[in-house]
Amino acid sequence: MRKLGILTCLILILAGRLLHAAEEEAAKKADEARLTVERIFASAEFNAQGLSARWADDGDGYLTVDGSSIVRHDAATGNKTVVVSAADLTPPGQSSPLAINGYDFSQSGDRLLIYTNSKRVWRQNSRGDYWVLDRSAHELRQLGGNSPPSALQFAKLSPVDAKAAYVRDNNLYVEDLRSGKITRLTSDGSKNVINGTFDWIYEEELHLRDGFRWSGDGKSIAYWQIDTTGVPRFMLVDNTSSMYPKTTSFAYPKTGQQNPVCRVGIVAAEGGETRWLDLPGDRRDNYLARMDWIPGTRNLLLQQLNRLQNENRVMVAEADSGKLRTVFVERDKAWVDVNDELMWLDENQQFTWISERDGWRRGYLATPSGKSVRSLTPRGYDAVELLRIDQSPEVRLAYYIASPANATQRYLYAVALTGANLKRLTPEDQPGWHDYSISPNGKWAIHTRSRMGQPPETNLVRLPEHESVRTLVDNKKLEEKLGKLDSEPVEFFQVEVEKGIKLDAYCIKPPKFDAKKKYPLLVYVYGEPAGQTVTDRWSGSGYLWHLMFAQQGYFVMSFDNRGTNSPRGREWRKCIYRQVGILAPNDQAAAVKKVLAERPYLDPDRVGIWGWSGGGSMTLNAILKFPKLYSTAMAVAPVPNQRLYDTIYQERYMGLPGDNVKGYLEGSPVNYAHQLEGNLLLVHGTGDDNCHYQGTEALVNELVRHNRPFTMMAYPNRTHSIGEGAGTTLHLRLLLTRYLQEKLPPGPK
């Protein structure tokens, strides 16, 4: 009996241990299945691995940075070769190599330019130190003479000589790499006069930062000059970094205000007088949006937008004579886009052009004379992006991205330069979002594919067959981790808001939801012409945060209203001209009403909406214009009054304020503050140089004037990203999460 008692005790102890182990395992699985704000934003647990690579000039290999070494990967074999070692990049007298923030080889490959110690200017790190490595002599020297740290911008090696050009303190310089002699090409650079780079608005809205170009023969440099004299200046106030406030002032033309003067000049690399191009029109009310040398010539090709941006004048300028002629003018009743997909072919007798002239975004081939413009990509759907022209005689193909049947996805297509033999190259069994970096010789591509909820996979493919050669990044560990999360497949669908008008949408559902109960709906919105939210691709922490809300008992949806930058034709994108903030919130509200009617498990009394930047503005328009529909809204870094935003962006879509008074009034949510009924959270960084905190303060005044309760959080000195400072991102996401849970309680009823 005693032995039986001991055995029973041992069995009970073992059973207890097994039960405890099972409970621990179950708890571990439960923890792995549930997302938290801390897991998403305070750890690297869900970071996807990517591949930062560039193609070598010959196109048969690509380059990566491994620590402080540059490595070449042979495309055919996968063999690796260290082309520049860390030892090569260790300055004399120092023990550590330079950190590589960027690099460029000379055309001959004998020199390497290294960008390091980079510092942020506005959105980008565009100031830093530059070093040049003479690869044959193994000599490493810093550019800039006695310049202070991180003072140079956009250094570039001459195409032919041992020289480099760069910008310092808004002036342009050339440095001889053998003697170290520095020649100052401009001398009028100042707070207002900017040579070789750009002011805030050209950088932000025309995506211009590097403002000079070497000629192909190395004899001349063409450069932009911006003069902000007379442009109203905006002031940012820093109250926290010292005992007394500090201010930053910069030129920022708001809608209807005076623009900077812009011109292009050409100067000899040895120095001398600048020859300024005599371009048509008022230099304040026309934007020189693009400029580059035509390969193999002494001519420049320029793109000039008028202030309304409904005309793009394409011009050729002769550098030596200054003569100018117009090739053609691209026009639209709404607005035209700058062409960033311009490539030269057939010994520079043709160049690629993008136009929506027949209602679709299509690729064309044009001649410098302007006498011939013929279509390249087919009519009936948008060519999202022209990637590469393969001019080899046996191929003669244009590669481009498109998705004719589904605007939420992207695929690779090829078409002969004659316009014949159109073919989709991305395999039919690979739905989702596909990005390609195609080699200069057109034989290879680094291909990355993903889906919403599915992390990216990168492989090397051979073109034009799209033959997969090897996997470069698989993200299998992340895929396994995501597979353990409690989730339902993301649903992509369309919502018909008017007869024949269907909006793309997605839905992230609560796991194992009960269709007989009612759940809150959270809408994520952007809705501006600058982008789309309903995309079937990996979106990292954004997707995971929304999935976390779904796990807590929310339905999360997003809708792409008319006017979003979707490949659905010109009319889709441009029907919102002069009515930004008017048509879009109506579409959004119509979509919400439709899904509430069609899905009885959605609770009409618990509808929330949130967005950032333009999405913050759209969020405000939603809750202020449709107070009975949305009960809770979270607006981050919005523009409550369109009159307070910049000329280039807002006037592109709305026209001049004096010509569209009604549109600016009805599109600005500040004018509807008196209609607030639900819960509103405003969040803004006081150092936001883009969407100014000023606008949120103006909205606060209106809400106070009308005695409307709201909640507000201001992050001192944070910019538009609200990401600066230790703990800021986590704090922001926790703030938004708590507010939503409190004001829009999760879970079924």
Domain range spanning residue 442? Answer: 381-484
Determine, yes or no, domain membership for 362.
no
SS3 694: helix
Residue in 86, 73, 69, 104 with CA at minimum distance from that of residue 458: 73
Domains in the chain: how many in total? 4
Residue 422 one-letter amino acid: L
Last-in-domain residue among 179, 201, 220: 179
Q: What is the pLDDT of residue 291?
A: 98
Determine, yes or no, domain membership for 637.
yes
Q: What is the pLDDT of residue 13?
A: 79
Determine, yes or no, domain membership for 20.
no
Q: What is the pLDDT of residue 1?
A: 53
Q: What is the pLDDT of residue 370?
A: 86
Determine, yes or no, domain membership for 32.
no
Could you tell me if 398 and 515 lie in one domain?
no
Tokens of 140: 């490493």
Could you tell me if 552 and 686 lie in one domain?
yes
Give me the CATH number covering residue 151.
Answer: 2.40.128
Find out whether 555 and 516 touch, Cβ atoms under 8 Å: no
Q: What is the pLDDT of residue 24?
A: 67
Could you tell me if 233 and 175 lie in one domain?
no
Task: Enter the pTM of the model.
Answer: 0.95
Could you tell me if 399 and 432 lie in one domain?
yes
Please write down the long-range contacts of 450-453, taking CB distance under 8 Å and 24 or more positions apart.
Answer: 450/537, 450/538, 451/536, 451/537, 451/538, 452/490, 452/506, 452/535, 452/536, 452/537, 452/538, 452/539, 452/543, 453/482, 453/487, 453/489, 453/490, 453/538, 453/543, 453/547
| C-alpha distance across the termini of the chain, in Å | 57
Rounded mean pLDDT for each run of 10 residues along the chain, 749 residues in total: 70 75 70 96 96 96 96 98 96 94 95 95 91 94 95 97 96 96 98 97 96 97 98 97 96 98 98 96 96 97 98 96 94 97 96 97 94 93 98 95 98 96 97 98 98 98 97 98 97 97 98 97 97 97 98 98 98 98 98 98 98 98 98 98 98 98 98 98 98 98 98 98 97 98 97
Could you tell me if 244 and 156 lie in one domain?
no
- Residue appearing with tokens 């609200």: 722
The Cα 176–Cα 163 span in angstroms is: 5
* Strands of 613-746, DSSP E: 632-636, 679-685, 711-715
Q: What is the pLDDT of residue 22?
A: 67
Give me the CATH number covering residue 245.
Answer: 2.140.10.30
Could you tell me if 479 and 496 lie in one domain?
no
Residue in 356, 341, 745, 340 with CA at minimum distance from that of residue 522: 745
Could you tell me if 514 and 641 lie in one domain?
yes
Determine, yes or no, domain membership for 252.
yes
Give me the CATH number covering residue 663.
Answer: 3.40.50.1820
The Cα 180–Cα 556 span in angstroms is: 60
Last-in-domain residue among 179, 213, 248: 179
Could you tell me if 213 and 240 lie in one domain?
yes
Could you tell me if 502 and 598 lie in one domain?
yes
Determine, yes or no, domain membership for 376.
no
Could you tell me if 540 and 657 lie in one domain?
yes
Could you tell me if 582 and 641 lie in one domain?
yes
| Lateral strand order in the sheet of 433-438 | 433-438, 444-451, 454-462, 467-473
Determine, yes or no, domain membership for 10.
no
Last-in-domain residue among 484, 506, 528: 484
Could you tell me if 70 and 105 lie in one domain?
yes
Length of the chain: 749
* Strands of 342-390, DSSP E: 344-345, 350-355, 362-366, 373-375, 383-390
